[in-house]
Amino acid sequence: MNDEICAIVTGGGRNIGQAIALRLQQDGFRVFVLDVVEPEVESLRADAALVNLLDVEAARAAVGAIVARHKVTCLVNNVGLVAPAPLEEVKLEDFERLMNLNLRTAIICAQIVVPEMKRHGGGRIVFNTSRVTKGKLDRTLYSATKGAAQSMARTWALELGGAGITVNCVAPGPIATTAFWQNNPPDAPKTKAITDAIPVGRMGTPEDVANAVSFFCDQRASFVTGQTLFVCGGVTVG
């Protein structure tokens, strides 16, 4: 095992996850992407693993193989599904799927990575959550998983702070990704209401989110833990 610092980004093959992975590369991390799709950007492909993170044993094996060979000091729990639906149409099978991918994956990864972070003297864990924890129509399941992630992060911050491991959340607001437009059709009145209400007057970009993640992953951010930073263009202010 060499001394290069490494990061794991779940769901880093597209959109916000890929922007986070690229930013961490720029920050000096060797980045390992875990996703069901190959990253679109060439620089991320060599260390990317195609894995279905809903498969517990496959997820454990993928993370375990990385920490066995590399000094992982950063874990970004980014992977997630949305499954929008009004309350009366929520499917229980979607409940299990979202809880398992959006939350269980983070626990699986952390249980493998944290002992290694402790051995190396500390580390950084960052959750990509969402402004939907403040409330949004048709997001019963998604908001439940993201709210739980923020709560879980605060618990981990208390448990791990003494080991030099910080745990924080970045909560994006309206971000212009393919996933956003799939779940918010551009011509829908609800979508127009969302975009018109952004105080800074524009949609966010994946790079806006990556900037915030970069801050929390920095060694100089060692006195910040248990926090949620909303990267939302001011949507959550009011």
Alpha-carbon distance of 71 to 68, in angstroms, equals 8
Q: CA-based angle 107:112:118, to the nearest 5?
A: 110
Q: Which residue do the tokens 């996850």 mark?
A: 17
What are phi and psi for residue 8, nearest 5 degrees? -110, 130
**Residue 187: active-site member:** no
- The Cα 204–Cα 186 span in angstroms is 15
Closest to 173 (Cα-Cα) out of 127, 133, 213: 133
- Active-site choice (29, 142, 216, 230): 142
The catalytic site residues sit at 142
